[in-house]
Amino acid sequence: MVSVMWFRRDLRIDDQKALAHAIASQSPTLCVFQFNKEQLNLLHSRNQSSFITSVLAFRKLLKCEGIDLYLMYGDLMTCFEQLLTQLKDWTDVYFNYDESGYGRLRDQKAAQFFKKNGIAVHTYQDHYLHGSQEIINQSGQPYKVFTPYYRIWQNYPKETPIKVELSQGRWLNLETPDDVLRTVESFKDEKYQDVATFDEASKQLNRFIQDQLAAYHANRDFPAQLGTSRLSPFLRIGAIGIRTVYHAVRQAPNSLGQATFLKELAWRDFYNMVYVAYPDQKTQPIQKAFSQIEWVNNPDWFQLWKEGKTGYPIVDAAMLQLQKTGWMHNRLRMIVASFLTKDLLCDWRLGEQYFQQQLIDYDAASNIGGWQWAASTGTDAVPYFRIFNPVTQGKRFDPKGEFIKAYLPQLEHVPEKYLHEPWKMPKNLQESVSCIIGTDYAQPIVDHAKQREQAIAKYEWAKEKVKIE
């Protein structure tokens, strides 16, 4: 009898359900990780390199414990078929399943293969505090609005972190082929050294609790401040368990900041539930009333949005943060999403796909949910007539321009009065601060007031068209 522990986006030892159960089985166990070529090709080089570097760092961690993480590369079924020829006594497989998106389809396909070959499948929900089927309404259906969901979520018992002892397991090691290692290494980009490990995640969690948690509610919307947890890249690949995060925060002194952060964890569960309930929401709006919106999709505008050259400082600084770091502050994600969909009138799916390529913390459920929220096409979304004014948002959340200047140094000497709308500077002032609009910094590519009117008209037209049909 031989078992396989299949790691995926759960690159940790502690608080790991599938791993704990594999150890408890007391069967000789091989730890494996499979790289999917198609998935890797979807990622931007920074995202890709960060992901691969994190897997290799986890492999090194296991190696220090005397465990070889066997790496596979290529088509999923081909990889497992080849592994089956090497493990003649393979009887069980353990993994933490995905409930939605690509991962769900992959797991269903893999489960069919395992069962066909007489391999017992042991799966666990380990990515969320509550799975999609745990908190449902009285009709047995998923909630469509966050507030009633959250009321139940708050009082629902939370599992405690699981202590995993590798020394209690029986481990089987196979040497990863050299050609696989070379192929995986070839996807890395030496310019990017982002790595998500449990040690780094633990340090970040402790820093957040000690230094930022109590004031989280007050500071989280200001990108110039270190007001957020910065845990999302670690949660994305499972370098730290969600139960570990929840209980560490819960054990901190009660504060409004603590309550606000825990509410964000509830949003994470909520968006997962929504994605499971609406599996086509990556490509289709949940609110069918807005399925007929006639997006402009100007390719030049979309490119300028990606490059941070729209002429609106808070939008441009945010897009440059994404470009340079692979991460973006959450308030800024809402601002740039609103700007793309309601100022530039570009399809929200274009933005969602771009974020998927760029973000080192990309989580499909949260990212899709966030984009549908901003575009007013999702469940419990912002009303279509509520359109963020990029100038007002900049003044409110980066009043002194500290964040803007960090990414747009050409605005360094622009007076605060003009910082969020530099095109209003008189020509002589532009010259004196060495920031000529149209040369050193972009002219606004659209007029927000006019675009707002067009956006509302397009949404209302789409609603009426659906009614008629």
**271 annotated as ligand-binding:** yes
Is the pLDDT assigned to residue 123 strictly greater than 80? yes
Catalytic residue among 330, 412, 421, 423: 330
pLDDT of residue 466: 67
In a domain? residue 30: no
Q: Please tell me the predicted confidence (pLDDT) of residue 43.
A: 62
Burial of 80 (0-12, 13-18, 19+ CB in 10 A): buried
Residue 264, marked binder: yes
* Amino acid in the structure at residue 48: Q
Please give the Cα distance from 13 to 201 (Å, whole number): 13
Please name which of 351, 309, 311, 298 lies closest in space to residue 448, comparing C-alpha atoms: 311
Q: What are phi and psi of 73, to 5 degrees?
A: -140, 130
Residue 41's pLDDT band (boundaries 50, 70, 90)? Answer: confident
Annotation marks residue 264 as catalytic: yes
* 257 class by beta-carbon count within 10 Å (0-12 exposed, 13-18 middle, 19+ buried): buried
46, 52 in Cβ contact below 8 A?
no
Q: What is the pLDDT of residues 137-186, one digit of tens each?
A: 999 999 999 999 999 999 999 999 999 999 999 999 999 999 999 988 88
In a domain? residue 332: yes
Which listed residue (6, 90, 301, 348) is catalytic? 348
65 is catalytic: no
Reply yes or no on whether 371 is catalytic.
yes
Domain holding 381, by residue range, is 288-468
Find the radius of gyration of the CA atoms of the chain.
Answer: 24
The reply to whether 364 sits in an annotated binding site is: no
Regarding pTM above 0.75, the answer is: yes
Please write the tens of the pLDDT for every residue from 236-294: 999 999 999 999 999 999 999 999 999 999 999 999 999 999 999 999 999 998 999 99
- Is 268 annotated to bind a ligand? Reply is yes
* Residue 331 is assigned to a ligand binding site: no
Domain membership flag for residue 327: yes
Phi, psi of 380 (to 5 degrees): 55, 40
User: Residue 72 phi/psi, 5° resolution?
Assistant: -125, 150
Instruction: Look at residue 96 and tell me whether its pLDDT is greater than 60.
Output: yes
pLDDT band at 44 (very low <50, low <70, confident <90, very high): low
The one catalytic residue among 173, 200, 219, 295: 295
Output the six-digit token pair for 382.
């912002």
Is residue 273 a contact partner of residue 143, using CB atoms and an 8 Å limit?
A: yes
Apex 120 CA angle, 116 and 121, nearest 5: 95
Provide the CATH number for the domain around residue 373. 1.10.579.10
- In one-letter notation, the amino acid at residue 454 is Q
Number of structural domains found in the chain: 1
Contact between residue 32 and residue 72 where contact means Cβ atoms under 8 Å apart: yes
- Position 99 pLDDT exceeds 80: yes
**Binding site annotation covers 362?**
yes
**E strand or H helix at 373:** helix 364-374
> Does 229 carry a binding-site annotation?
yes
Q: Kindly name the residue from 159, 200, 264, 421 that is annotated as catalytic.
A: 264
pLDDT, position 136: 94
Which residues fall within 8 angstroms of residue 37, CB to CB, at 6 or more apart?
A: 73, 74, 75
Given a cut of 90, is residue 187 above it in pLDDT? no
Percentage of the chain exceeding pLDDT 90: 89
Q: For residue 63, what is the enclosing H or E element?
A: helix 45-64
Burial 404-430 (b: 16+ CB within 10 A, else e): bbebbebbeebeeebbbbbeebeeebb
pLDDT tier for residue 42 given thresholds of 50, 70 and 90: low
Active site residue: 6, 153, 305, 371, which one? Answer: 371
Residue 275, in any domain of the structure: no
Identify whether the C-beta of residue 54 lies closer than 8 Å to the C-beta of residue 195: yes
Mean per-residue pLDDT over the chain, rounded? 95
pLDDT in tens, 424-462: 999 999 999 999 999 999 999 999 999 999 999 999 999
**379 lies in a domain?**
yes
Catalytic residue among 267, 298, 412, 421: 267
Verify whether residue 330 is a known catalytic residue: yes
- Residues with Cβ within 8 Å of 79's Cβ and at least 6 positions away in sequence, in order, are 34, 72, 73
> Over pLDDT 70: what percentage of the chain?
98
What's the mean pLDDT in 405-429?
Answer: 98
Q: Is 216 annotated as a binding residue?
A: yes
265 carries a ligand binding annotation: yes
Q: State yes or no: 143 annotated in a binding site.
A: no
412, part of any domain: yes
Given this model, what pLDDT does residue 338 score? 98
> Could you give the CA distance from residue 50 to residue 58 in angstroms, rounded to a whole number?
12
| pLDDT in the model for residue 219 | 97
- For 389-402, how does the pLDDT look when each residue is reduced to its tens digit (9 = 90+)? 999 999 999 999 99
- 313-328: average pLDDT: 97
> Which pLDDT value is given to residue 469?
57
Q: Helix H segments across 87-210?
A: 101-116, 146-155, 178-186, 198-207
Q: Count Cβ atoms below 10 Å from residue 242 Cβ, excluding itself.
A: 22
User: Is 354 inside any structural domain?
Assistant: yes
Residue 261 annotated as part of some ligand binding site: yes
Residue 12 domain-assigned (yes or no): no
